[in-house]
Amino acid sequence: MNIEPDLCRVEDALEIIVGKWKPIILLHLLKNGTMRFSEIKRSVPEITQKMLTKHLRELEEEDIIERVVYPQVPPKVEYSITEYGKSLEPILAAMHEWGTKHTVHKKQKLVNQTKTI
């Protein structure tokens, strides 16, 4: 396939996927379907609440995930991947696969460099 650079829509996909925590959030939601805010937080403990909220809102804005608020105290909010959001999975899978190979490639490069020293 040959993408005409001037008609490139790669950025549109990147905008949605890029963000320090977005891929992991998406993978968790793809795996589990539906999760509470606190569940996601526990799955990704290093993320701050601010960042988690921000990224979830952005994904919701693009119809990748759905947000359902249960009006109760303490609050309960459930996030789930939409059908549309699921269409991102092949891209994530392709990137994951490539990333795995790339990790090996980099290790191999390091070995070769060490050999020549």
CB 107 within 8 A of CB 115: no
Closest CA to 65 of 42, 43, 34, 20: 34
Give whichever of 75 and 94 is closer to a second copy, judged by the CB atom: 94
State CA 97 to chain mean position distance: 14
Among a second copy, DNA, none, what binds residue 51 when CB lies within 5 to 8 Å by partner kind? DNA
Beta-carbon contacts of 78 under 8 Å, excluding residues fewer than 6 positions away, are: 34, 35, 36, 67, 68, 70
C-beta of 113: minimal distance to DNA in Å?
Answer: 21
Give whichever of 45 and 71 is closer to a second copy, judged by the CB atom: 45
Alpha-carbon gap, residue 90 to 84, rounded angstroms: 12
C-beta of 99: minimal distance to DNA in Å?
Answer: 17
Give whichever of 47 and 59 is closer to DNA, judged by the CB atom: 47
2 binds a second copy (CB under 8 A): yes
Interface with a second copy in residues 45-64 (CB under 8 A): 62-63
Residues forming contacts to DNA in the complex (CB under 7 A) are 19-21, 36-38, 41, 47-51, 53, 56, 67, 69, 73-77
CB 81 within 8 A of CB 64: yes
Among DNA, a second copy, none, what binds residue 105 when CB lies within 5 to 8 Å by partner kind? a second copy
What six digits make up the tokens of 10?
Answer: 């790669």
